[in-house]
Amino acid sequence: MMGANPLFDPNSIFTALRLSVTLACVTTILALGIGVPLAWWLANCRNWWRDVCSSIITLPLVLPPTVLGFYLLLALGPSGLGALAVHITGRPTFAFSFAGLTVGSVIAALPYIVQSTQAAFETTGRKPLEIAYTLRTPPLRAFLSVALPLAAPGIIAGAVIAFAHTIGEFGLILMIGGDIPGQTRLLSIMLFDNVETGDWASAHAIAGGMVAFAFMTILILRLTQKRLTARPC
Protein backbone atom coordinates (compact mmCIF):
# COMPACT_ATOMS: atom_id res chain seq x y z
CA MET A 1 0.00 0.00 0.00
CA MET A 2 2.83 2.36 0.90
CA GLY A 3 4.76 1.59 -2.26
CA ALA A 4 1.75 2.37 -4.39
CA ASN A 5 1.23 5.77 -2.81
CA PRO A 6 1.24 8.27 -5.68
CA LEU A 7 1.95 11.18 -3.33
CA PHE A 8 5.20 9.74 -2.00
CA ASP A 9 8.04 11.76 -3.53
CA PRO A 10 11.54 11.24 -2.14
CA ASN A 11 12.86 14.20 -4.12
CA SER A 12 10.65 16.72 -2.40
CA ILE A 13 11.64 15.23 0.95
CA PHE A 14 15.31 15.67 0.08
CA THR A 15 14.67 19.25 -1.00
CA ALA A 16 13.04 19.99 2.33
CA LEU A 17 15.80 18.13 4.18
CA ARG A 18 18.48 20.13 2.41
CA LEU A 19 16.67 23.35 3.22
CA SER A 20 16.25 22.42 6.89
CA VAL A 21 19.90 21.46 7.29
CA THR A 22 21.10 24.60 5.48
CA LEU A 23 18.93 26.80 7.64
CA ALA A 24 20.12 25.07 10.82
CA CYS A 25 23.78 25.45 9.81
CA VAL A 26 23.47 29.12 8.87
CA THR A 27 21.43 29.84 11.98
CA THR A 28 23.87 28.09 14.30
CA ILE A 29 26.88 29.89 12.83
CA LEU A 30 25.21 33.30 12.99
CA ALA A 31 23.83 32.68 16.48
CA LEU A 32 27.33 31.64 17.64
CA GLY A 33 28.81 34.79 16.13
CA ILE A 34 26.31 36.98 17.94
CA GLY A 35 25.73 34.85 21.03
CA VAL A 36 29.28 34.18 22.21
CA PRO A 37 30.32 37.87 22.44
CA LEU A 38 26.92 38.64 23.96
CA ALA A 39 27.37 35.91 26.56
CA TRP A 40 30.83 37.24 27.36
CA TRP A 41 29.42 40.68 27.90
CA LEU A 42 26.58 39.34 30.07
CA ALA A 43 29.00 37.27 32.14
CA ASN A 44 31.23 40.27 32.86
CA CYS A 45 28.78 43.16 32.96
CA ARG A 46 27.61 44.43 36.34
CA ASN A 47 25.08 47.01 35.13
CA TRP A 48 21.47 46.82 36.22
CA TRP A 49 20.31 46.66 32.60
CA ARG A 50 22.25 43.45 32.14
CA ASP A 51 19.21 41.60 33.51
CA VAL A 52 16.94 43.50 31.16
CA CYS A 53 19.05 42.46 28.15
CA SER A 54 19.28 38.92 29.43
CA SER A 55 15.49 38.74 29.77
CA ILE A 56 14.93 40.06 26.25
CA ILE A 57 17.32 37.48 24.80
CA THR A 58 15.59 34.70 26.77
CA LEU A 59 12.10 35.78 25.70
CA PRO A 60 11.86 33.40 22.67
CA LEU A 61 12.23 30.43 25.04
CA VAL A 62 9.05 31.39 26.86
CA LEU A 63 6.91 32.98 24.14
CA PRO A 64 4.74 30.84 21.89
CA PRO A 65 6.68 30.63 18.60
CA THR A 66 3.66 31.96 16.75
CA VAL A 67 3.74 35.18 18.79
CA LEU A 68 7.38 35.70 17.96
CA GLY A 69 6.59 34.83 14.35
CA PHE A 70 3.72 37.31 14.24
CA TYR A 71 5.86 40.24 15.31
CA LEU A 72 8.72 39.18 13.08
CA LEU A 73 6.33 38.93 10.16
CA LEU A 74 5.35 42.54 10.77
CA ALA A 75 8.94 43.61 11.28
CA LEU A 76 10.24 41.84 8.18
CA GLY A 77 7.38 42.94 5.97
CA PRO A 78 7.21 45.97 3.66
CA SER A 79 6.51 48.39 6.52
CA GLY A 80 9.51 47.15 8.52
CA LEU A 81 12.79 45.75 7.30
CA GLY A 82 11.05 44.97 4.03
CA ALA A 83 11.94 48.48 2.90
CA LEU A 84 15.57 47.45 3.27
CA ALA A 85 14.85 44.22 1.44
CA VAL A 86 13.94 46.18 -1.69
CA HIS A 87 17.43 47.61 -1.75
CA ILE A 88 19.16 44.30 -1.17
CA THR A 89 17.03 41.72 -2.94
CA GLY A 90 14.72 43.78 -5.11
CA ARG A 91 11.79 42.10 -3.41
CA PRO A 92 9.46 44.19 -1.24
CA THR A 93 9.76 41.96 1.85
CA PHE A 94 11.95 39.64 3.91
CA ALA A 95 8.90 37.65 4.89
CA PHE A 96 8.33 34.35 3.07
CA SER A 97 12.00 34.16 2.15
CA PHE A 98 15.00 32.18 3.33
CA ALA A 99 16.57 35.41 4.63
CA GLY A 100 13.51 36.06 6.75
CA LEU A 101 13.56 32.51 8.08
CA THR A 102 17.20 32.96 9.01
CA VAL A 103 16.51 36.15 10.97
CA GLY A 104 13.71 34.45 12.88
CA SER A 105 15.66 31.26 13.54
CA VAL A 106 18.67 33.18 14.84
CA ILE A 107 16.50 35.07 17.30
CA ALA A 108 14.86 31.81 18.41
CA ALA A 109 18.20 29.97 18.70
CA LEU A 110 20.12 32.75 20.44
CA PRO A 111 18.94 32.04 24.01
CA TYR A 112 20.17 28.43 23.86
CA ILE A 113 23.66 29.55 22.91
CA VAL A 114 23.77 32.59 25.18
CA GLN A 115 22.58 30.75 28.27
CA SER A 116 24.97 27.83 28.15
CA THR A 117 27.90 29.98 26.99
CA GLN A 118 27.31 32.56 29.70
CA ALA A 119 27.14 29.81 32.33
CA ALA A 120 30.42 28.39 31.02
CA PHE A 121 32.16 31.79 31.15
CA GLU A 122 30.85 32.37 34.67
CA THR A 123 32.06 28.95 35.85
CA THR A 124 35.52 29.58 34.45
CA GLY A 125 35.65 32.93 36.18
CA ARG A 126 38.17 35.70 35.71
CA LYS A 127 41.11 33.91 37.26
CA PRO A 128 42.54 32.09 34.21
CA LEU A 129 42.32 35.36 32.28
CA GLU A 130 44.17 37.23 34.99
CA ILE A 131 46.90 34.60 34.97
CA ALA A 132 47.15 34.98 31.20
CA TYR A 133 47.50 38.75 31.62
CA THR A 134 50.43 38.25 33.98
CA LEU A 135 52.02 36.12 31.26
CA ARG A 136 52.17 39.09 28.85
CA THR A 137 48.99 38.12 27.04
CA PRO A 138 46.76 41.04 26.04
CA PRO A 139 42.97 40.71 26.50
CA LEU A 140 41.90 39.61 23.02
CA ARG A 141 44.55 36.91 22.81
CA ALA A 142 43.79 35.84 26.37
CA PHE A 143 40.13 35.55 25.44
CA LEU A 144 40.89 33.42 22.39
CA SER A 145 43.54 31.20 23.97
CA VAL A 146 42.11 30.81 27.48
CA ALA A 147 38.50 31.90 28.01
CA LEU A 148 37.14 30.43 24.78
CA PRO A 149 38.70 26.96 25.01
CA LEU A 150 37.77 26.69 28.70
CA ALA A 151 34.16 27.51 27.84
CA ALA A 152 34.15 25.18 24.81
CA PRO A 153 31.95 22.43 26.36
CA GLY A 154 29.25 24.99 27.15
CA ILE A 155 29.51 26.63 23.74
CA ILE A 156 29.31 23.30 21.91
CA ALA A 157 26.33 22.18 23.99
CA GLY A 158 24.53 25.42 23.20
CA ALA A 159 25.32 25.15 19.49
CA VAL A 160 24.09 21.54 19.26
CA ILE A 161 20.81 22.37 20.99
CA ALA A 162 20.39 25.47 18.81
CA PHE A 163 20.98 23.36 15.68
CA ALA A 164 18.56 20.65 16.72
CA HIS A 165 15.97 23.19 17.78
CA THR A 166 16.15 24.96 14.42
CA ILE A 167 15.57 21.67 12.60
CA GLY A 168 12.46 21.14 14.71
CA GLU A 169 11.04 24.69 14.68
CA PHE A 170 7.50 24.86 13.29
CA GLY A 171 5.27 27.71 14.44
CA LEU A 172 7.77 30.47 13.87
CA ILE A 173 8.72 29.14 10.45
CA LEU A 174 5.15 28.81 9.29
CA MET A 175 4.40 32.34 10.45
CA ILE A 176 7.29 34.13 8.73
CA GLY A 177 8.21 31.68 6.00
CA GLY A 178 4.99 30.21 4.83
CA ASP A 179 5.21 27.03 2.80
CA ILE A 180 7.04 27.60 -0.46
CA PRO A 181 8.70 24.42 -1.85
CA GLY A 182 12.45 24.84 -2.21
CA GLN A 183 12.45 28.16 -0.38
CA THR A 184 10.69 27.94 2.94
CA ARG A 185 9.16 24.46 3.02
CA LEU A 186 11.25 22.86 5.76
CA LEU A 187 10.91 19.27 6.96
CA SER A 188 8.67 20.20 9.87
CA ILE A 189 6.30 22.11 7.58
CA MET A 190 6.31 19.32 5.04
CA LEU A 191 5.33 16.80 7.69
CA PHE A 192 2.27 18.90 8.44
CA ASP A 193 1.41 19.06 4.73
CA ASN A 194 1.86 15.32 4.36
CA VAL A 195 -0.57 14.63 7.17
CA GLU A 196 -3.09 17.05 5.72
CA THR A 197 -2.95 15.46 2.28
CA GLY A 198 -2.91 11.95 3.69
CA ASP A 199 0.63 11.12 2.46
CA TRP A 200 1.38 8.81 5.34
CA ALA A 201 4.48 7.31 3.79
CA SER A 202 6.23 10.67 3.59
CA ALA A 203 4.96 11.63 7.03
CA HIS A 204 6.39 8.42 8.49
CA ALA A 205 9.72 8.93 6.74
CA ILE A 206 10.06 12.49 8.04
CA ALA A 207 8.73 11.90 11.55
CA GLY A 208 10.78 8.74 12.03
CA GLY A 209 13.87 10.44 10.72
CA MET A 210 13.34 13.35 13.09
CA VAL A 211 13.01 11.07 16.10
CA ALA A 212 16.22 9.29 15.11
CA PHE A 213 17.97 12.63 14.57
CA ALA A 214 16.84 14.05 17.91
CA PHE A 215 17.91 10.91 19.73
CA MET A 216 21.33 10.90 18.06
CA THR A 217 21.79 14.57 18.89
CA ILE A 218 21.13 14.08 22.58
CA LEU A 219 23.23 10.93 22.71
CA ILE A 220 26.21 12.56 20.99
CA LEU A 221 25.87 15.58 23.24
CA ARG A 222 25.91 13.45 26.36
CA LEU A 223 28.91 11.44 25.22
CA THR A 224 30.99 14.45 24.18
CA GLN A 225 30.08 16.45 27.28
CA LYS A 226 31.21 13.57 29.43
CA ARG A 227 34.55 13.62 27.67
CA LEU A 228 34.93 17.39 27.61
CA THR A 229 33.95 17.96 31.22
CA ALA A 230 35.92 15.03 32.58
CA ARG A 231 38.41 17.58 33.88
CA PRO A 232 38.04 18.53 37.51
CA CYS A 233 39.03 22.15 38.01
Partner 1 sequence: MALPVLQSGLSVHFKGPINQLAINVRFDIATPGITGIKGPSGCGKTSLLRAIAGLHHFPQGYCRLANDIWQDNTVFLPPWKRPIGYVPQDGGLFSHLSVKKNLLFGMRLIPDREPFFTDIVAALHLRPLLERNTHALSGGERQRIAIGRALLTQPRLLLMDEPLSALDLNMKTDILFYLKDFLEKRKICTLYVSHDAEELHMIATHILDWRSIQNTPS
Residues near partner 1 (CB under 8 A): 127-128, 130-139, 142, 146, 149-150, 152, 230-233
User: In this structure, how many other beta carbons lie within 10 angstroms of the beta carbon of residue 22?
Assistant: 13
Per-residue exposure over 48-59, b if at least 16 CB sit within 10 Å of its own CB, e if not: eeeeeebeebee
Least distance from partner 1 to the Cβ atom of residue 36, Å: 16
Taking the least distance from each CB to partner 1, the nearer of 180 and 228 is: 228
Q: CB under 8 Å to 143, separation ≥6 — which residues?
A: 40, 129
Least distance from partner 1 to the Cβ atom of residue 150, Å: 5
Taking the least distance from each CB to partner 1, the nearer of 139 and 182 is: 139
Least distance from partner 1 to the Cβ atom of residue 119, Å: 17
Least distance from partner 1 to the Cβ atom of residue 63, Å: 36
33-to-27, 37, 114, 167 alpha-carbon distances in Å: 10, 7, 11, 19
User: What span, in angstroms and rounded, lies between the C-alpha atoms of 135 and 124?
Assistant: 18
Taking the least distance from each CB to partner 1, the nearer of 152 and 211 is: 152
Taking the least distance from each CB to partner 1, the nearer of 152 and 219 is: 152
